[in-house]
């Protein structure tokens, strides 16, 4: 469990980090909380030649930007989970962050790291998809904005290029019309989700907007679009039938915890429960 | 606490905070990996990625060229130096077993089998170099499944053997044919004990060094059994025993996985000799999953014959036990330890047991917390629940009709053991009271009636087990190569302070504290004045170490005996100095007093000092109070208890939640209640983990698919409710302390309690079996299968389950299940009745 040898760069700013990434290209990996990368290096499944440490690059922090919140990529899950501004304006994100791993993980792991890793079994992608948040990516040519819906490209692959760095996560402020719930289905408390369903619903008896993000239901994180479409403009009585379509057009993985059929079944049950809780 | 005897003394019977915890929890101690010696080299083992293959070539040249590398060896290079790994329990005369070298030479037999070692100046250099070793393999068929392994024409797990069946071991008592032929009801089941990975907190580690006097070699090892390690390493390597010192420093848990002699211990010692330098090896967690022994992995066919009123007549058990690829120290004997326990706490007329030990291309199995008894307890407690269901009686009532009554002890049970003491009625009454059994049954019925998706189940386990390994004579009869005695020594220092030496080898159990309590009361000295030394063969030269809940039962009894000898010597000195007749000197509260003139007294400390200076001792008396004792019990000890679990099953997802757990254990007299409670809590967690969470899975090629904690679920505190524990006290009669052992009770009892609860929650849906671990997938699958088979008129399995829940009253569900039980029994042709 000893990683192969590597060089180490501690970036003092996003610009320094990007410069290091430009210099080393595919041989470099960004180190934030290290909770996915370091285990893979210890198992020698990842053998980067250079680690670019961004934990002191000034990328942590939470800012109220009027109609949305700006969360620095190096902000820890713990800080997201316990921040008063996030709790007030985007409680669903704080709630999901609090379900990640265990306290040790949450004190090291970061929101940017969790998203940039692009693991569909992670909890953050589903909530960012449902929030329709945006990611700010910095590269040698400056910053660009990527909608969450375009961020997750393939298995463990995101829109962040090898010479780019995820620097900010933007999420909207939610008004009182929104209700939410995250149904995270795990084997033990600290495990990855077998399946998760994140419901975010704006409703006043009639559902004006329903969004369902699914965790671990494909090679990339996805939304349950058939369920969402079946709910728009409907009363909450439509939830059971709509949730039954949560796994439509999904291609979930099979593993020791669940084969694809069981995952599809869980997705429908968990989506129904999340939606009912969100409007309840 | 329900108490029939309450021997609370100044120390014994009271909670004392553990002396050892400050150093353990702050890390201010030596674990084996903390040991660093001048000139030390680090060893890495290159392991087979194939489950079964011929080794055609091992090329070390790439490794030898790497920076820092000191040496590298293949199995062939060390063929003459490193002996085979020992098996101390050849259970039958004709048992077959493959040679088990420290490094494989021609053939690897499981993923993780060592093929080469690389030694370098640093651990990192050794890891880098080990990646450059090139091994050529010629694949052989992998034998993974035991049932396939015993079929005619099966592929062989070991090509040097002509069979996969190592041995067949029988135990029979009573007329089994009469018991079954005359039975009104026979219930038969097949249970699967899944494979488990022990997962001790501290990985294995060893340091071997040519240091000490003259030709002496010293081995530090993260082991439960330093005395075993000394004897066996000396024997298999050919070292004169007096020249080998083995030290188990503080050790971070074992659960049986460190009750073994491992290849890496042999290799480190052989290479330290060869290189003349200290050699260190520390297991990675990944290696721990593959190359430290696993537990359980048995298939149990069990049938219970009853009269119509539920009286048990006889029990048959046909067991397949997976040895893995090789025999480790006690591998073949683990299912044999279970053989004595299948009848549980129940009376019956006949018993017939047979076990086959089977080789497969998987990691060797060996002792894992409970070692044979959890498997047996699971089988009997599960089938009693199935029998109760078939008879239509409450499962607790059926137990009461059959268990040994408290006034029947000592009781010679059908498994050929003599239970010396017990009171199953008392423990059960207390558990029922704490749990509110009737109230919970009513709550369960309400949930049933509501038809909701969260159903309640009540799980029962009324268990006993055998602890205190054990009578040497019995072990000899079982062809176990060691004895079962234990040793203690008491050294009285000049100042009256005390050194206690024990042959047990704690690795988390708290012996420093409990042994201090025993000695403090026996010698009348303060608890704080005692130090307990263990785990170093140069300090504790005799001992048989710690496993099988034996330490207090045997080692504690040895300490009490040694303390008694000290007191008698001190009484003689005191009588001499007090100018009184020895018979007139009483000892209590740490002082010797002359009967009739209590002001004439000496403290133990004063006597100790007087003996040390030896200016005025009785004629002919040696100037020492130091004493030792070796104790060999004449029977095992038999803890028992009643455990009750309230579980909630989500019938839509298969998720099981444990809502409440009550345990009432009778472990006899107790030295330190808090340590006992801690052992019960940890044991419960480990037993519940087997029921709900843990399970090693191999694919058909013999690859371990659960090779890390990401895939192998060891639960944590958030996964459990607060356990509610209590005790009854029925002292053991087979040792002077009246203690029975508590290290494994929680693990043994809890697994069937949980599974009985899970099935109780969904039995109305037609479920009568769930594979362990009872994961959501396994529970949901069981519900779907039951729905599909029970309601063929609906193609919607979930709806079918709901319909059955709504429409089928308890009687209908019972009839349906009885039919299934009958069907299962009928399949094997052993059923003689049932309610068909």
Closest B-chain CA to A261: B777
Interface of B with A in 258-297 (CB under 8 A): 284-286
Mean predicted lDDT score pLDDT of chain B: 93
Q: Is the peptide bond before A8 cis (omega within 30 degrees of 0)?
A: no
Closest A-chain CA to B652: A269
Same domain, B513 and B567: yes
Tell me the domains of chain A and their CATH numbers: 7-53 (3.30.43.10), 62-172 (3.30.465.10), 178-279 (3.30.390.50)
Rounded to whole angstroms, the Cα distance separating B12 from B676 reads 12
What average pLDDT does this structure show over B436-463?
A: 97
CA B625 to chain centre: 37
What average pLDDT does this structure show over B826-830?
A: 33
What average pLDDT does this structure show over B144-157?
A: 97
* Res. A39: pLDDT tops 50: yes
B124–A contact, CB cutoff 8 A: yes
Same domain, B621 and B714: no
Q: Which residues of B400-409 are buried (b: 16+ CB within 10 A; e: fewer)?
A: bbbbbebeeb
- pLDDT band of residue B598 (cuts 50, 70, 90) is confident
B81–A contact, CB cutoff 8 A: no
Q: What is the pLDDT of residues B288-333, one digit of tens each?
A: 999 999 999 999 999 999 999 999 999 999 999 999 999 999 999 9
> What pLDDT is recorded for position B599?
87
> What pLDDT is recorded for position B666?
98
**Mean pLDDT highest for which of A1-5, A35-39, B407-411?**
B407-411
Identify the domain boundary among B597, B631, B665.
B631
Rounded to whole angstroms, the Cα distance separating B757 from B457 reads 5
> What pLDDT is recorded for position B819?
35
Q: Is residue B793 part of a domain?
A: yes
Same domain, B626 and B705: no
Rounded to whole angstroms, the Cα distance separating A213 from B468 reads 55
B788–A contact, CB cutoff 8 A: no
Same domain, B139 and B161: yes
Q: Is residue B387 part of a domain?
A: no
Contact B200, B440 (CB under 8 A): no
Q: Which of the residue ranges B293-297, B415-419, B795-799 would you say has the lowest mean pLDDT? A: B795-799
Q: B123 and A192: CB-CB below 8 Å? A: no
Instruction: Report the percentage of chain A scoring pLDDT > 70.
Output: 100
Of B118, B551, B580, B544, residue with least CA distance to B330: B544
Interface of A with B in 100-129 (CB under 8 A): 102
Contact B681, B716 (CB under 8 A): no
* Res. B835: pLDDT tops 70: no
Q: A188 and B286: CB-CB below 8 Å? A: no
Chain A residues with CB-CB distance to B698 below 8 A: none
Rounded to whole angstroms, the Cα distance separating B503 from B554 reads 10
Contact A202, A208 (CB under 8 A): yes
> What pLDDT is recorded for position B286?
95
Same domain, B130 and B237: yes
Q: Which residues contact B177 (CB under 8 A, 6 or more apart)?
A: none
Closest B-chain CA to A264: B653
> What pLDDT is recorded for position B212?
67
* Res. A264: pLDDT tops 70: yes
Measured CA distances, A111 to A143, A178, B216, B506 (Å)? 18, 23, 56, 44
Same domain, B120 and B49: yes
> What pLDDT is recorded for position B9?
84
**For residue B89, how many other CB atoms are within 10 A of its CB?**
23
What average pLDDT does this structure show over A75-95?
A: 98
- Hunting for tokens 């396994």 — which residue is that? B778
> What pLDDT is recorded for position B561?
98
Closest B-chain CA to A259: B777
What average pLDDT does this structure show over B102-114?
A: 98
Same domain, B120 and B236: yes
Same domain, B255 and B291: yes
B49–A contact, CB cutoff 8 A: no
Task: Between A187 and B83, name the one with better pLDDT.
Answer: A187
A271–B contact, CB cutoff 8 A: no
Q: What is the DSSP letter of A76?
A: B
What average pLDDT does this structure show over B674-697?
A: 98
* Res. B818: pLDDT tops 50: no
Measured CA distances, B215 to B207, B209, B211, B241, B331 (Å)? 17, 11, 8, 11, 33
Q: Is the peptide bond before B461 cis (omega within 30 degrees of 0)?
A: no
Rounded to whole angstroms, the Cα distance separating A184 from A207 reads 23
What average pLDDT does this structure show over B759-765?
A: 97
**For residue B129, how many other CB atoms are within 10 A of its CB?**
25
Residue B565's SS3 state is helix
> What pLDDT is recorded for position B822?
35
Chain A residues with CB-CB distance to B131 below 8 A: 44
Domain CATH for B105: 3.30.365.10
**Which tokens belong to A106?**
């949450």
Same domain, B698 and B681: yes
- pLDDT band of residue B81 (cuts 50, 70, 90) is confident
Contact A218, A196 (CB under 8 A): no
**Beta strands A207-215; B53-59: pairing state:** unpaired
- Hunting for tokens 């959501």 — which residue is that? B776
Q: B775 and A257: CB-CB below 8 Å? A: yes
Same domain, B680 and B824: yes
Q: What is the DSSP string of B804-831?
A: HHHH--HHHHHHHHHHHHHHHHHHHT--
Q: A1 and B713: CB-CB below 8 Å? A: no
Identify the domain boundary among B587, B616, B631.
B631
Chain A residues with CB-CB distance to B777 below 8 A: 257-259, 262
Q: Is residue B472 part of a domain?
A: no
Could you list the residue range(s) of the whole structural domain that residue B586 is in?
2-26+485-631
Strand locations in B667-713, DSSP E?
none
- Give the H or E element holding residue B612: helix B604-613
Q: Is residue B647 part of a domain?
A: yes
> What pLDDT is recorded for position A205?
83
**Which tokens belong to B413?**
């049970």
**Which tokens belong to B387?**
């029998």
What average pLDDT does this structure show over B194-218?
A: 92
Of B616, B639, B656, B670, residue with least CA distance to B761: B656
- Give the H or E element holding residue B128: helix B123-130
Rounded to whole angstroms, the Cα distance separating B91 from B830 reads 29
B652–A contact, CB cutoff 8 A: yes
- Give the H or E element holding residue A158: strand A157-158
* Res. B796: pLDDT tops 70: no
Of B330, B157, B313, residue with least CA distance to B259: B330
The length of chain A in residues reads 280
Q: Is residue B398 part of a domain?
A: no
* Res. B791: pLDDT tops 70: no
* Res. B247: pLDDT tops 60: yes
Same domain, B614 and B712: no
Interface of A with B in 148-167 (CB under 8 A): none
Chain A residues with CB-CB distance to B711 below 8 A: 256
A269–B contact, CB cutoff 8 A: yes
- What ipTM was reported for this prediction? 0.96
> What pLDDT is recorded for position B214?
73
Rounded to whole angstroms, the Cα distance separating B628 from B122 reads 44
Of B531, B541, B412, residue with least CA distance to B488: B541
**Which tokens belong to B612?**
């040390």
Q: What is the pLDDT of residues B465-494, one digit of tens each?
A: 999 877 999 999 999 999 999 999 999 999
Q: A194 and B776: CB-CB below 8 Å? A: yes
**Which tokens belong to B626?**
């130091």
* Res. B803: pLDDT tops 90: no
Chain A residues with CB-CB distance to B775 below 8 A: 187, 257
Q: Which of A4, A190, A191 sits opposite B128 (nearest CB)?
A: A4
What average pLDDT does this structure show over B441-458?
A: 97
Q: Is residue B666 part of a domain?
A: yes
Chain A residues with CB-CB distance to B780 below 8 A: 262, 265
Interface of A with B in 184-203 (CB under 8 A): 185, 187-192, 194
Q: What is the dihedral of CA B472, B476, B478, B481, to 10 degrees?
A: 100
Identify the domain boundary among B603, B631, B659.
B631
Residue B432's SS3 state is helix
Kindly report the three-state secondary structure assignment for every residue of B182-236. Answer: CCCEEEEEEEEEEEECCCCCCCCEEEEECCCCCCCEEEEECCCCHHHHHHHHHHH
Rounded to whole angstroms, the Cα distance separating B405 from B174 reads 21
Q: Is the peptide bond before B773 cis (omega within 30 degrees of 0)?
A: yes
A262–B contact, CB cutoff 8 A: yes
* Res. B821: pLDDT tops 90: no
Query: Max Cα separation, chain A?
Result: 59
- Our CA-based measurement puts residue B681 at a distance from the nearest CA of chain A, in whole angstroms, of 18
What average pLDDT does this structure show over B604-616?
A: 97
* Res. B208: pLDDT tops 60: yes
The length of chain B in residues reads 836
Q: Which residues contact B438 (CB under 8 A, 6 or more apart)?
A: none
Contact B53, B137 (CB under 8 A): yes
Q: What is the pLDDT of residues B366-399, one digit of tens each?
A: 999 999 999 999 999 999 999 999 999 999 999 9
Number of domains composing chain B:
3
* Res. B806: pLDDT tops 60: no
Rounded to whole angstroms, the Cα distance separating A193 from B816 reads 36
Rounded to whole angstroms, the Cα distance separating B367 from B260 reads 9
Q: What is the pLDDT of residues A218-239, one digit of tens each?
A: 999 999 999 999 999 999 999 9
Q: How far apart are the first and last CA of chain A?
A: 48
Q: What is the pLDDT of residues A163-219, one digit of tens each?
A: 999 999 999 999 999 999 999 999 999 899 999 999 999 998 899 999 999 999 999
Same domain, B227 and B275: yes
Identify the sign of the CA torsion B478, B480, B481, B485. Answer: negative
Q: Is residue B473 part of a domain?
A: no
Q: What is the pLDDT of residues A90-143, one digit of tens each?
A: 999 999 999 999 999 999 999 999 999 999 999 999 999 999 999 999 999 999
Residue B643's SS3 state is strand
Of A184, A91, A172, A81, residue with least CA distance to A132: A172
Contact A119, A35 (CB under 8 A): no
Chain A residues with CB-CB distance to B776 below 8 A: 185, 187, 194, 257-258, 262, 266
> What pLDDT is recorded for position B653?
98
**Which tokens belong to B502?**
């024990």
Rounded to whole angstroms, the Cα distance separating B173 from B342 reads 12
Name the β-bridge partners of B190: B301
Of the residues B650, B692, B719, the best mutation for testing chain A's interface (the one with the most A CB atoms within 10 Å of its CB) is: B719
Q: Which of A4, A44, A188 sits opposite B719 (nearest CB)?
A: A188
Contact A239, A228 (CB under 8 A): no
**Which tokens belong to B734?**
């087979």
- Our CA-based measurement puts residue A184 at a distance from the nearest CA of chain B, in whole angstroms, of 12
Rounded to whole angstroms, the Cα distance separating B604 from B613 reads 14
- Hunting for tokens 């000191």 — which residue is that? B70
- pLDDT band of residue B83 (cuts 50, 70, 90) is confident
Chain A residues with CB-CB distance to B694 below 8 A: none
A143–B contact, CB cutoff 8 A: no
Q: Is residue B269 part of a domain?
A: yes
């Amino acid at each position: 469990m000893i990683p192969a040898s590597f060089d180490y760069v501690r970036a003092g700013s996003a610009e320094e980090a990007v410069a290091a990434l430009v210099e080393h290209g595919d041989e470099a990996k960004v180190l934030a909380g290290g909770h996915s990368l370091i285990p893979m290096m210890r198992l020698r499944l990842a053998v980067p030649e250079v680690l670019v440490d961004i934990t002191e690059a000034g990328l942590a922090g939470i800012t109220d930007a009027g109609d949305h919140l700006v969360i620095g990529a190096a902000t820890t899950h713990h800080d997201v989970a316990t921040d008063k501004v996030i709790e007030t304006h985007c409680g669903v994100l704080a709630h999901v962050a609090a379900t990640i791993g265990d306290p040790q993980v949450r004190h090291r792991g970061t929101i940017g790291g969790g998203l940039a890793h692009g693991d569909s079994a992670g909890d953050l992608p589903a909530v960012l998809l449902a929030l329709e948040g945006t990611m700010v990516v910095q590269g040698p040519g400056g910053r660009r904005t990527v909608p969450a819906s375009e961020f997750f490209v393939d298995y463990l692959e995101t829109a962040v290029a090898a010479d780019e760095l995820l620097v900010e996560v933007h999420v909207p402020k939610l008004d009182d019309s929104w209700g939410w719930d995250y149904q995270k289905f795990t084997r033990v408390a600290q495990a990855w989700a077998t399946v998760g369903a994140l419901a975010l619903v704006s409703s006043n008896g009639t559902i004006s907007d329903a969004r369902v993000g699914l965790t671990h239901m494909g090679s990339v994180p996805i939304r349950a679009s058939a369920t969402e479409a079946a709910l728009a403009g409907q009363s909450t009585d439509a939830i059971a039938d709509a949730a039954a379509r949560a796994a439509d057009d999904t291609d979930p993985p099979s593993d020791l915890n669940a084969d694809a059929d069981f995952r599809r079944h869980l997705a429908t049950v968990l989506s129904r429960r999340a939606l009912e809780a969100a409007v309840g | 606490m329900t108490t029939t005897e309450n021997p609370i003394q100044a120390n014994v019977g009271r909670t004392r905070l553990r002396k050892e915890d400050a150093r353990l929890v702050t890390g201010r101690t030596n674990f084996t990996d903390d040991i660093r010696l001048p000139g030390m080299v680090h060893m890495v083992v290159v392991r087979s990625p194939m489950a079964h293959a011929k080794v055609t070539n091992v090329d070390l040249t790439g490794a030898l060229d790497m920076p820092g590398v000191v040496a590298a060896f293949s199995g062939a290079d060390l063929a003459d130096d490193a002996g085979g790994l020992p098996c101390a329990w050849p259970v039958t005369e004709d048992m077959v077993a493959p040679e088990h070298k420290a490094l494989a030479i021609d053939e690897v037999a499981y993923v993780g089998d060592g093929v080469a070692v690389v030694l370098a100046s640093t651990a990192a250099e050794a890891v880098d170099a080990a990646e450059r070793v090139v091994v050529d393999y010629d694949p052989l068929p992998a034998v993974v499944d035991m049932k396939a392994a015993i079929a005619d024409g099966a592929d062989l797990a070991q090509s040097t053997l002509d069979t996969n069946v190592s041995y067949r071991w029988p135990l029979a008592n009573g007329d089994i044919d009469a018991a079954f032929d005359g039975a009104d009801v026979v219930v038969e089941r097949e249970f699967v004990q899944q494979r488990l990975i022990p997962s001790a907190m501290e990985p294995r580690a060893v340091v071997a060094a040519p240091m000490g006097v003259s030709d002496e070699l010293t081995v530090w090892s993260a082991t439960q059994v330093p005395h075993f390690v000394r004897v066996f390493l000396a024997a298999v390597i050919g070292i004169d025993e007096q020249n080998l010192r083995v030290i188990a420093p503080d050790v971070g848990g074992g659960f049986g996985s460190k009750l073994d002699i491992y290849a890496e211990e042999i290799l480190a010692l052989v290479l330290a000799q060869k290189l003349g330098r200290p050699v260190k090896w520390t297991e990675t967690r990944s290696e721990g999953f593959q190359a430290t022994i696993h537990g359980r992995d048995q298939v149990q066919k069990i049938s219970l014959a009853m009269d119509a009123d539920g009286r048990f007549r006889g029990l048959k058990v046909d067991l397949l036990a997976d040895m893995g690829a090789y025999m480790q120290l006690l591998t073949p004997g683990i299912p044999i330890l279970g053989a004595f326990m299948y009848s549980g706490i129940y009376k019956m007329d006949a018993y017939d047991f047979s076990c086959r030990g089977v080789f497969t291309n998987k990691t060797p199995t060996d002792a894992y917390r409970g070692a044979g008894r959890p498997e047996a307890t699971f089988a009997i407690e599960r089938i009693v629940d199935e029998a109760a269901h078939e008879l239509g009686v409450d499962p607790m009532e059926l137990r009461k009709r059959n268990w040994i009554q408290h006034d029947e002890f000592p009781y010679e049970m059908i498994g050929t053991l003599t239970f010396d003491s017990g009171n199953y009625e008392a423990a059960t009454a207390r558990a029922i009271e704490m749990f509110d059994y009737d109230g919970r049954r009513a709550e369960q019925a309400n949930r049933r009636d509501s038809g909701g998706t969260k159903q309640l189940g009540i799980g029962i386990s009324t268990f006993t087990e055998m602890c205190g390994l054990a009578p040497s004579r019995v072990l000899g009869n079982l062809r176990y190569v060691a004895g079962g005695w234990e040793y203690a020594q008491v050294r009285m220092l000049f100042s009256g302070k005390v050194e206690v030496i024990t042959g047990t080898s704690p690795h988390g159990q708290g012996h420093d504290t409990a042994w201090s309590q025993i000695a403090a009361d026996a010698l009348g000295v303060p608890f704080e004045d005692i130090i307990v030394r263990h785990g170093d063969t140069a300090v504790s030269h005799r001992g048989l170490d710690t496993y099988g809940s034996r330490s207090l039962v045997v080692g504690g009894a040895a300490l009490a005996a040694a303390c008694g000898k000290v007191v008698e010597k001190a009484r003689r000195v005191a009588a001499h100095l007090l100018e009184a007749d020895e018979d007139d000197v009483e000892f209590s509260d740490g002082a010797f007093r002359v009967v009739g003139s209590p002001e004439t007294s000496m403290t133990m400390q004063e006597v100790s000092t007087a003996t040390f200076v030896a200016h005025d001792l009785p004629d002919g008396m040696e100037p020492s109070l130091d004493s030792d004792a070796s104790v060999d019990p004449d029977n095992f000890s038999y803890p028992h208890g009643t455990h009750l679990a309230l579980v909630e099953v989500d019938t839509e997802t298969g998720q099981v939640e444990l809502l409440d757990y009550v345990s009432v254990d009778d472990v006899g007299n107790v030295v330190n209640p808090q340590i006992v409670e801690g052992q019960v809590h940890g044991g419960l967690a480990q037993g519940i983990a087997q029921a709900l969470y843990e399970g090693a899975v191999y694919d058909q090629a013999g690859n371990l698919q659960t090779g890390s904690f990401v895939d192998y679920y060891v639960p944590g505190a958030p996964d459990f409710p607060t356990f509610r524990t209590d005790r009854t006290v029925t002292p053991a009669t087979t040792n002077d302390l009246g203690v029975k052992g508590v290290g494994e009770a929680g693990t043994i009892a809890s697994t069937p309690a949980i599974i009985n609860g899970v099935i109780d929650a969904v039995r109305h849906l037609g479920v009568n079996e769930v594979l362990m671990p009872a994961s959501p997938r396994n529970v949901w699958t069981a519900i779907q299968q039951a729905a599909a088979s029970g309601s063929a008129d609906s193609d919607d399995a979930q709806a079918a389950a709901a319909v059955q829940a709504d429409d089928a009253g308890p009687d209908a569900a019972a009839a349906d299940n009885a039919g299934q039980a009958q069907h299962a029994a009928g399949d094997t042709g052993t059923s003689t009745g049932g309610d068909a």
